[in-house]
Structure 1
Amino acid sequence: MLGAKNFLITGRPGIGKTTAVLRVSEALKRLGVKVGGMISREERERGVRVGFILEDLMTGERGYLARVGAGLGPRVGKYTVLIDDLERVGVGAIERALREADVIIIDEIGPMELYSGKFVDATA
């Protein structure tokens, strides 16, 4: 991408990074900018975080990044990383955005995402 810029937003959990990214995304879309990529949101049951859901910003497709009690797979704390969903939704969203979007959002790159070689390759 000629003239590409990277913007990083950092901060403690729960301070509104994803909310800020979503607001910027919506504002850009209203201006006719094609926004793609992925975000991750907490999933809570009875006020307790039980997992993280990925969403493709272009298609709305969703899947799990990780979930408590999800069976076999890489673990980060109490969460099992769901590599198949990460690659189908997350990597798919990034690859689609690289082909089609004007602005690419990747909400988070952390220990869970780094268990996928395909994710690492897509974000390199």
Structure 2
Amino acid sequence: MKRVLLLTGKPSAGKSTAIRTLIDMIGADKCGGFYTEEIRGASDRLGFRCVTVAGESAELAHTDSASPLRVGRYGVMLEPFEQLAVRSVRQSMRQAQVTVIDEIGTMQLLSAPFRELVEQLIADPPHIVLGTIGLDVPVFGRIRNNPAVALYTLDESNRDALPALLAADLAERM
């Protein structure tokens, strides 16, 4: 039985929303790790923050950031991301039944410790890993073809139904 369940899809398909719904459905007490939230302005997206399942948060990227690391119009702030997200994933690997990683994306993969942690989790998952991965991420093909990975494509036609199906699947795996 595959131990790494990843949602993929186009940007704004609802991957992070599905992850938050899944956390609620299976119980936050069984999960660790992090999910990603948009930072919104009056009319557009200004950046992203990562939020641990326990509720801590840190900015990952922002249009106003002076960081020299850029992905599109966003300055990426690795130090707060590594201190929060990488720590929460490592802690989840020791304590939780499900480790949440939302998302394995271009910004997050700028972090060497995060890349190493994802590679470790994909190669030898200690328990269930529930995450998201963007379609355009350079490591997508390698992760998609890993025998431990079950990949689910999220789009408008299935984004309302898929979380319930995955929650049932997760319940069987736990």
TM-score under structure 1 normalisation? 0.89
Secondary structure (helix, strand or coil) at the match of 1:21 reads helix
Give the aligned length. Answer: 119
Q: In the alignment, what sits opposite 1:92?
A: 87
Secondary structure (helix, strand or coil) at the match of 1:8 reads strand
How well do the aligned residues superpose, as a CA RMSD in angstroms? 1.5
Aligned counterparts, 1:1-40, within 5 A: 5-29=3-27, 34-40=30-36
Deviations along 1:83-112, whole A, 9 cap, x unmatched? 111101111111111111100111111111
Secondary structure (helix, strand or coil) at the match of 1:60 reads coil
1:42, distance to aligned residue in structure 2 (A) = 0.8
Code of the residue aligned with 1:61 in structure 2: it is E
Q: In the alignment, what sits opposite 1:62?
A: 57
| Aligned equivalents of 2:2, 2:97: Cα separation in 1 | 10
1:15, distance to aligned residue in structure 2 (A) = 2.0
Q: Whose RCO is larger (CA < 8 A, sep 6+)? A: 2
Secondary structure (helix, strand or coil) at the match of 1:89 reads helix
Closer, same or farther in 2 for the Cα pair 1:72/1:19, shift >3 Å? closer
| Aligned equivalents of 2:89, 2:77: Cα separation in 1 | 17
Aligned counterparts, 1:94-113, within 5 A: 94-113=89-108
Gaps of 5+ in 2: 120-174
| Aligned equivalents of 1:26, 1:44: Cα separation in 2 | 23
1:73, distance to aligned residue in structure 2 (A) = 2.8
| Aligned equivalents of 1:116, 1:22: Cα separation in 2 | 23
1:4, distance to aligned residue in structure 2 (A) = 6.2
**Any runs of at least 4 consecutive aligned residues in structure 1 with deviations exceeding 3 A, and if so which?**
none
Deviations along 1:51-106, whole A, 9 cap, x unmatched? 0010011x211001111121133110110110111101111111111111100111
Q: In the alignment, what sits opposite 2:126?
A: none
TM-score under structure 2 normalisation? 0.64
Code of the residue aligned with 1:19 in structure 2: it is T
